[in-house]
Structure 1
Amino acid sequence: MDQEQAPNGLSSCYRHPGVETGIRCTRCERPICPDCMVSASVGFQCPECVRNGSGTGHAPGASRPRTLAGAAVTAGDPHLVTKILIGLNLAVFVAALAVPALVEDLMLIGRAFDFQTAQWLGVADGEWYRLVTSMFLHQEVWHIGFNMIGLWVLGGPLEPAFGRVRYLALYLLSGLAGSALTYLLAAPNSGSLGASGAVWGLMGATFVLVRRLKYDPRPVVGLIALNVLITVVFRDTIAWQAHLGGLVAGAIIAYGMVGGPRERRAPMQWGACALVLAASLVTVVVRSSDLSVLMLG
């Protein structure tokens, strides 16, 4: 049965009424949204055609369909990882409210002197874990609220399109890249925290995915432009370095996930993740070396 046409001419996904899409299954020609797309040799197919063996969306003998990024489609909640990430951020937020000392212990600090213990602390002093823990740390309600809304809105379509493992790698590596650039460019004793770098990585990945699916990119471009404007206006109170690092890293990883030819998809995916990870680690090592020289001086 054909689907209802939206005012802009797009059809609604036959499995998710109300979700507009311009893509149709190459076998049955029913409209399918990104959550339902299974990559085939030519175009995309719906889960039913793949499951019934009427299409070519999986290799001979394969029993499970694949996502756009090549991951096996898993049963259950398609947004499981997104919900877990939101839960972790909320848990750390509540813990920091209950134990305020956690903020100083987990936030991103390049180098600072603790007069109470008469010791140096920060990433330059070997506390590399701060690059990751700071990604889950928030202090203000508005801060975690904006970030978690962004994580839910952007992560919702990305997780089923990439698959859980690839999506989690995108999130964590984007956040790490944001932390690394903040560590490189921000004042060494200036604290930084928040999931903004990872969320901006999802924003960059969304742009790449929209371009890959040949959707209208203007809404995503508008969202990025609005967030860039907010970052510029409040640059004195926002870690713009994390935003920039996350955005670039997310776009690079997403292109590796879905941008290349299907036969070279796996090497490109591993290569993109390895590139972002290596660039982040080199940035941290170089910055730590510079700060160690300053400490000795």
Structure 2
Amino acid sequence: MEKEAKIYVAGHRGLVGSAIVRRLEQEGYKNLLLRSSKEVDLTNQIETQQLFEIERPDYVFLAAARVGGILANNSYPARFIYENLMIEANTIHAAYQFGVKKLLFLGSSCIYPKLAPQPLKEEYLLTGSLEPTNEWYAIAKIAGIKLCQAYRQQYGCNFISVMPTNLYGPNDNFDLETSHVLPALIRKFHEAQVNKQTNVTIWGTGTPVREFLYVEDLADACVFLMNNYNEESIVNIGTGIGVTIKELADSISSVVGYSGDLLFDTTKPDGTPIKINDVSFLKSLGWEAKTNLREGLFLTYEWYKKNY
């Protein structure tokens, strides 16, 4: 990407988009196109096409999406599949129509089959049934990947897709009804500490294994791939290191300074038993994560205390 190129970061206020903006600015990219969902509704085809026709971005990071944890996915299935399908279809088609040089689409590792072998290799996509609590979001994200591949095959568009693992960091969603597990636990432990609660309840058994990537590392990987990768195949982004939910809870309680008991509500779903990205392909391209979980949790908690 040329330093003077116009770069559109769709979803620039979210966890991923805001990190990509910070990373681009650190690298000296100043011609950034940023529009909130109130300014341009990407689920609206006309508004999306008008944005691209007027602004003519050279590069696009498609980080805009409707996201949430198990509860949100189960509660709003129509919203999750509809909004994500529309955002992807409108943005990718407009990028083709108005000559975008390159587009990077953000998928998610949660779109791999529920019982796929571990760690998750890129070729496991579409080889089995999805996790039922997540299928609405997953089907929409798979459609986005296939859109990028289809426009590449039919029109020669340089559209690439990446599969991040579970993300966390500044600008995360800490709402207990719609957030993912890590920010939800940070909020729960913080409030338990402030309110002097003797215990904290955690969904599920605590045994599922998850991988967590600090969002600043993801942004660094995305900019790296925009500058160094031009193929059809999807690319996993992560650390390749898994921890159980109980281990995660123990780490967060330690960072927060909470010393009460942990209670596990086994009536609540666990989701996929284990989910870790195989990141050997990305490492072979010359990139790997820099921030360990303990450091990332500390930085995220410091941000949370200043902003909530």
Higher relative contact order (CA 8 A, sep 6+): 2
TM-score (norm 2): 0.27
Q: Give the TM-score of the pair, scaled to structure 1.
A: 0.28
Structure with max Cα Rg: 1
Which of the two has greater helix per residue?
A: 1
* More strand per residue: 2
